[in-house]
A and B are shown apart, each in its own frame.
Chain A
C-alpha cells in the first residue's frame, strides 16, 4: 500500500486511485502521422527511479493527477493536477 497526497482530498491509500501511465508522454495531434502515434502509444521507458506518472483519483475527487514517484522506493516527490488550469486555480486558491 502506498499513500498518495491528493491535492484536493489529502493523503489517501493508493487503492482509491487508478494508475494511468507515463505522464511525460506528449500525445501527438490527432492528425499526426502514424509513426508519431506509434511512438507515443507503444514505445515506453521502463524507468528505474523517479518517474512522472498519471493517477486517477477514481474513488475520490475524480481528478487526474501527475505524481512524481520513485519506482524503486515508492517515494513520492510531488503531486499536482494534470489539468494546468485546475492546477493554477488550486495555486491561486491557496
Chain B
C-alpha cells in the first residue's frame, strides 16, 4: 500500500485537473500541488537514485531541505536537473523524469554500486585511484583523470542540457525600510505590525503561498483566521513577493533575492523572464525563516516511505495526501504529536515511538483518545523493504545506548529528530550560530547589524509565541527607524511541554547498518567515524573529506547529525566542535539569473562612433577595440583582410586615406593653471607650448612606468584639447581628476571628458592637404606656413561645419586630424570622401592603421603594457631633464635604467619571404629556450618594405643585436623563424615625409 489522495480537505483545487508526465507516463494532479505531492497522490514512491550507491530514494520532506526527490524537469534545451520535486509547483504539461539511473529509477542497473558500497566509503576515489601504484607509476595524474570521468558518470546527479539556455533572466533592484524574510506566523505578524507603523515593508516568501507552517495545519475553509491575517497584511500595505527566495544577506542591508517568475506556468508569456535576480537594500531586516526538522541516522533511513514528520503533516493537511495507511511516527520531542493525531483522524493506523522515557500530558491523553499506541524509550533501528518501507525494526533504550526491540509492519515512517532553526542568512553576516544544548539546536548568534530574528528561526516553537516574537521584532525595527510603536517583549526560545531527548543516531552494538547522515551525498554515520579515525576531525575537514553538507541541499537536514557524531567520536560537546560556515546562496541560484541580460552582445556596453553607419555604408568590416566598434578594413571586390589592408596602407603612402579616429579619448583641460597642470602631468615640457600648436606627450604613473600617450592641442591661453589612446581614455580621465582633487587642489583647472562630443578622422597621405583644402571654407589656413607640422587651427568646413584641425601624423605621412561636433561626423566624411575618392584615395581601417604605425615604430597599447619605461619605449628624449613631473622621481630607479632592459626594436625575417607572429619570444640563435631575450608585440606586412615586419622588445635594444642571429620562437603555433633585430623606425626614419 502507498499514499493516496483524500476525497476532501487540503489546499488543492479539485475542480481543475493538471496533467503531467513522470518518466514519460501520464499522471495528474491539481492546482496547489507540488510535483512531489502529485507524485505521492498518484502512488509514486520511488523517485530517484542516490548519488553514489544508486539506492532508491523518495520524498523525504516537503520543502527546500529535500535530498531524496531530486528530479530532472523539462526537455531538450530546457532540461533542468536536480530540481526538488517538493518545491516545484505543478502545472499543466509539466514533464519530469528520474535521474542518475539507467534505464530508469525503478530498475536501475547502477544499483550494483550498492553491492560494492563497502568499498565506496569516504575518500574512496582519492584512496583508490590517485597516486596509488600501479595506476599512477610515472604517469602524473593522467590515469586519475581517466578514471574520474568513468566514476563521475556512474556517480552523480542529473545531467544539464548542453544547448544554450533559451530563457531570459532579469536583474532588478529595490529598496525598503524593512525586509521580512519568511511568511509564517512570525513573518506575517512582523510585516503587518511594521507596515501599520508606517514602514515600507517588503515580505518575501519562497513558497507560492503565504503562511509557512500555518499551511501544514488542518485546513478548514470555514475557519478564517489565516485568511484574515493575510488580508490584514495586504491592507497594511505590505509589498509581498511569493516564489521568491532571499538567498543571501550582504553588507549594509543588501539582500539577494531570486524570484521564480514563470516556472509554475504552463504557457508563460514570452515577454516574461524565467527568473528575476533582485538586489534589495533594506534599512532593517527581519529573518522569520522558520526551522527545518531533522532526520535521525538509523539503518536504511533513506528508504522511500521514510520522511520527516512535518512533511507527513504537510502532505496530509495541505495537499490532502494520506502518505500511508499503517504509519509509524518516531520522535524525540513534542512536535510530532500533532501530526500523529491528524494522521490517525484521517484514517491511518498510527504507532508512535518516543525516544523519551515519559510522554507529557496532554499529549499522552490525546494520543490515547485517537487510539495511538505510544512506545516510550523506543526509537527506529532499521527500515525494511527493498524499494519502499514495509516494516520497521526498533530499538529500546538501554542505559545510554540501545538494544534491539520489536519489529512493526508499516507502510510509512515519519521521523522527527528535533528542529534546526534556519540560521543560514544570519550566518551570512558573519554571526556564528551558538549551540543550545537544552533545545538541541544552533540558535543565531550576536550580529550587531540592523538584523532581527523572529519565530522558529530564533528557536521559538510555539505558534502563538512565534507571532509575538514577530511583533516584537517589528516593534524593535520600527523604533530604530524612528516610528513610535509600543514595544513588545520577545518570548524566550523553546516552548515544548517536555524537553527534547537529543537523538542523532540509533545503533546497536554488533549490527552493521547503513545509516545515512547526509542522504543527498550518500554520507553514512560510518563515514563520519571513518573520517574521525583517519584524522579529519575539524568540521571543515569533515565536510571536505566526506562531502557531508555539500551539493544542492547544503546539509539542511543532515549537518547537525554529522556534527553530533563527530563530537561523540571526539568525546566533546557539539558546542566545542562548532559548525561549518554557511555562505550564500541558501538555495541554488541559476547561472542564468546571475548573468541576467548581460550575455552575448549585452555582456558589455557597445560604443559606436557617429560615423558607424557611414563606415558600414562604405564597405567597412568592423572589429572590436575595447568597447568600440571600429572599421577594421574596407574590402573592395572580395578582397581578403590581408589584401585590403595592404592596399589601404599603400594608398596612404602614395595618395590619401581617411580613417575614423573618433574612439580616441578627448579631454578638455581648461583653466588659468591648465598649462602648469599639463607640465606636471607630461614628461616633456608644456610650459611654452604656443597657442595654435599641438604637442605629443607621454604621461607616467607615480612609479615611473608609462601610463599613456597622445597629443594635446593648445586652443587658447587657458584651453587645451587633450587626446588619449582609445584604450586608456577612461583611465586617464580618472587620473587627472584624482590629481586635481586629491593632490593639487590649489590648481585652478577643470577637466571634462569630451570624447563623445567630437567626431574625428585622420586624413593622411601626400594628397591629404589637397583633400582637406577642398573642404574648408578658407584653404589658406592649411598652407605649410599657416599650419606647419604640429600646427592647430579652428575653422569651418564647407557649409559652415565648425572644426578643429591639427597637422599631426600617426602614419608618418603628411597628415591631419580633423574633429567636428559629433553630429557632423557623417557630413565631414561625405565632404572629404567626395574629394578623396576621385583622387584615388581610400578609406582605411584599424589593420592598415596598424601597418602604418608599425612601419614607423610608433607605440600603442600593445607596447605600453604597464611594464614599460619611457626609455624602454625608445622615447627617453621625451623625458625633460630640467623639470619635475609625475613619475620623474621613480622612473630612475636602478632597475628601470639598466642597460640590459628590454627596449623597443624592429624585427625583420632573415628570409624576407617568411613571417612570424605577435607573442613569439625572441631568443639568441644559440639558445632557443626559456623566456628568451625579448618578445614580439606587433606584426604586419609592410607594403612600403615589401615584406613582413614586427615590433617588439629586446634586451639592450637593437644596437646590441646588430648582425647577430636571433630566432622568433613560436614552437606551439607557427614554429621558429630566424629574424634580424633592427631599429624600430623601419620606414622613413628621418620623418621627411611627415614634415614635407
List A residues at the B interface (Cβ < 8 Å): 1-3, 13, 18, 20, 23, 27-34, 36-38, 40-42, 54, 56, 58, 62-64, 74, 81-86
Which candidate, B61-69, B768-776, B887-895, is the interface stretch facing chain A? Answer: B887-895
B741, A82: Cβ atoms under 8 Å? yes
B884 within 8 A of A: yes
B743, A27: Cβ atoms under 8 Å? yes
The 5 closest A-B pairs by CB, nearest first: A30-B884, A3-B252, A37-B889, A64-B741, A1-B254
Choose one: A30, A32, A34, A63; the contact of B886 (CB below 8 Å).
A30
A33, B889: Cβ atoms under 8 Å? yes
B281, A85: Cβ atoms under 8 Å? no
For window 726-768 of chain B, which residues contact chain A by CB distance below 8 Å?
A: 734, 737-738, 740-743, 745
A1, B279: Cβ atoms under 8 Å? yes
A3, B892: Cβ atoms under 8 Å? no
Contacts A64-B741, A83-B742 given; does A2 touch B251 at CB 8 Å: yes
The residue of chain B having its C-beta at the shortest distance from the C-beta of A63 within the complex is B741
B890, A85: Cβ atoms under 8 Å? no
B253 within 8 A of A: yes
- How distant is B786 from chain A, measured CB to nearest CB, in Å? 37
A32, B742: Cβ atoms under 8 Å? no
B890, A64: Cβ atoms under 8 Å? no
* A18 to B250 alpha-carbon distance, docked (Å): 19
For window 247-285 of chain B, which residues contact chain A by CB distance below 8 Å?
A: 250-254, 279, 281
B935 within 8 A of A: no
Choose one: A1, A29, A40; the contact of B251 (CB below 8 Å).
A1
- How distant is A77 from chain B, measured CB to nearest CB, in Å? 13
* A61 to B892 alpha-carbon distance, docked (Å): 37
B702, A82: Cβ atoms under 8 Å? no
Apart from A3-B251, A3-B253, A62-B737, list 16 A-B contacts with CB within 8 A. A1-B279, A13-B279, A20-B742, A30-B884, A30-B888, A31-B884, A33-B889, A34-B893, A37-B889, A37-B890, A40-B702, A54-B742, A63-B741, A74-B252, A84-B745, A86-B741
The residue of chain A having its C-beta at the shortest distance from the C-beta of B886 within the complex is A30
B680 within 8 A of A: yes
A30, B250: Cβ atoms under 8 Å? no
For window 672-687 of chain B, which residues contact chain A by CB distance below 8 Å?
A: 680
Contacts A3-B281, A33-B889, A37-B702 given; does A83 touch B741 at CB 8 Å: yes
B885 within 8 A of A: yes
Give chain A residues whose Cβ lies under 8 Å from the Cβ of B253.
3
Contacts A3-B281, A34-B892, A34-B893 given; does A41 touch B745 at CB 8 Å: no
The residue of chain A having its C-beta at the shortest distance from the C-beta of B734 within the complex is A56
B703 within 8 A of A: yes
List B residues at the A interface (Cβ < 8 Å): 250-254, 279, 281, 680, 702-703, 734, 737-738, 740-743, 745, 884-886, 888-890, 892-893
A30, B885: Cβ atoms under 8 Å? yes
B251, A30: Cβ atoms under 8 Å? no
* A40 to B887 alpha-carbon distance, docked (Å): 12
The residue of chain A having its C-beta at the shortest distance from the C-beta of B680 within the complex is A30
Give chain A residues whose Cβ lies under 8 Å from the Cβ of B703.
41-42
The residue of chain B having its C-beta at the shortest distance from the C-beta of A5 within the complex is B252
Give chain A residues whose Cβ lies under 8 Å from the Cβ of B738.
20, 54, 56, 64
* A36 to B534 alpha-carbon distance, docked (Å): 55
A74, B742: Cβ atoms under 8 Å? no
Contacts A20-B738, A82-B742 given; does A1 touch B890 at CB 8 Å: no
- How distant is B955 from chain A, measured CB to nearest CB, in Å? 25
* A40 to B889 alpha-carbon distance, docked (Å): 12
Give chain B residues whose Cβ lies under 8 Å from the Cβ of A83.
740-742, 745
* A32 to B884 alpha-carbon distance, docked (Å): 9
The residue of chain B having its C-beta at the shortest distance from the C-beta of A4 within the complex is B252
- How distant is A10 from chain B, measured CB to nearest CB, in Å? 11
The residue of chain A having its C-beta at the shortest distance from the C-beta of B173 within the complex is A13
- How distant is A27 from chain B, measured CB to nearest CB, in Å? 5
- How distant is B962 from chain A, measured CB to nearest CB, in Å? 33
The residue of chain A having its C-beta at the shortest distance from the C-beta of B429 within the complex is A73
B702, A41: Cβ atoms under 8 Å? yes
Give chain A residues whose Cβ lies under 8 Å from the Cβ of B281.
3, 13
B250, A64: Cβ atoms under 8 Å? no
Give chain A residues whose Cβ lies under 8 Å from the Cβ of B888.
30
Contacts A30-B884, A38-B890 given; does A1 touch B742 at CB 8 Å: no
A32, B251: Cβ atoms under 8 Å? no
A34, B890: Cβ atoms under 8 Å? yes
- How distant is B740 from chain A, measured CB to nearest CB, in Å? 8
Give chain A residues whose Cβ lies under 8 Å from the Cβ of B680.
30
* A30 to B742 alpha-carbon distance, docked (Å): 14
* A38 to B702 alpha-carbon distance, docked (Å): 9
Give chain A residues whose Cβ lies under 8 Å from the Cβ of B737.
56, 62, 64
B745, A85: Cβ atoms under 8 Å? yes
* A37 to B891 alpha-carbon distance, docked (Å): 11
21 sample A-B contacts, Cβ–Cβ < 8 Å, listed by A number: A1-B250, A1-B251, A1-B252, A1-B279, A2-B252, A20-B738, A23-B742, A27-B702, A31-B884, A32-B889, A34-B889, A37-B889, A41-B890, A42-B703, A54-B738, A63-B741, A64-B738, A64-B742, A74-B251, A83-B740, A83-B742
- How distant is B907 from chain A, measured CB to nearest CB, in Å? 34
- How distant is B567 from chain A, measured CB to nearest CB, in Å? 30
The residue of chain A having its C-beta at the shortest distance from the C-beta of B885 within the complex is A30
- How distant is A9 from chain B, measured CB to nearest CB, in Å? 14
* A23 to B742 alpha-carbon distance, docked (Å): 9
* A76 to B822 alpha-carbon distance, docked (Å): 42
Give chain B residues whose Cβ lies under 8 Å from the Cβ of A13.
254, 279, 281
- How distant is A3 from chain B, measured CB to nearest CB, in Å? 4
* A40 to B893 alpha-carbon distance, docked (Å): 15
Give chain A residues whose Cβ lies under 8 Å from the Cβ of B886.
30
- How distant is B141 from chain A, measured CB to nearest CB, in Å? 36
Most-contacted residue by chain A among B702, B742, B888 (CB, 10 A): B742
Give chain B residues whose Cβ lies under 8 Å from the Cβ of A29.
884
* A28 to B887 alpha-carbon distance, docked (Å): 12
- How distant is B667 from chain A, measured CB to nearest CB, in Å? 12
Give chain B residues whose Cβ lies under 8 Å from the Cβ of A56.
734, 737-738
- How distant is A57 from chain B, measured CB to nearest CB, in Å? 10
* A54 to B745 alpha-carbon distance, docked (Å): 15
Give chain B residues whose Cβ lies under 8 Å from the Cβ of A30.
680, 884-886, 888-889
The residue of chain A having its C-beta at the shortest distance from the C-beta of B738 within the complex is A64
Give chain A residues whose Cβ lies under 8 Å from the Cβ of B742.
20, 23, 54, 64, 82-83
The residue of chain A having its C-beta at the shortest distance from the C-beta of B701 within the complex is A41
Give chain A residues whose Cβ lies under 8 Å from the Cβ of B734.
18, 56, 58
* A71 to B478 alpha-carbon distance, docked (Å): 29
* A63 to B251 alpha-carbon distance, docked (Å): 23
Choose one: A3, A18, A41, A86; the contact of B254 (CB below 8 Å).
A3
- How distant is B583 from chain A, measured CB to nearest CB, in Å? 15
* A56 to B252 alpha-carbon distance, docked (Å): 19
The residue of chain A having its C-beta at the shortest distance from the C-beta of B752 within the complex is A62
* A86 to B253 alpha-carbon distance, docked (Å): 30
A81, B252: Cβ atoms under 8 Å? no
Give chain B residues whose Cβ lies under 8 Å from the Cβ of A81.
741
Give chain B residues whose Cβ lies under 8 Å from the Cβ of A37.
702, 889-890
- How distant is B2 from chain A, measured CB to nearest CB, in Å? 48
Give chain B residues whose Cβ lies under 8 Å from the Cβ of A2.
251-252, 254
The residue of chain B having its C-beta at the shortest distance from the C-beta of A56 within the complex is B734
- How distant is B558 from chain A, measured CB to nearest CB, in Å? 31
Give chain A residues whose Cβ lies under 8 Å from the Cβ of B884.
29-31
The residue of chain B having its C-beta at the shortest distance from the C-beta of A33 within the complex is B889
Give chain A residues whose Cβ lies under 8 Å from the Cβ of B702.
27, 37, 40-41
- How distant is B378 from chain A, measured CB to nearest CB, in Å? 50
The residue of chain B having its C-beta at the shortest distance from the C-beta of A30 within the complex is B884
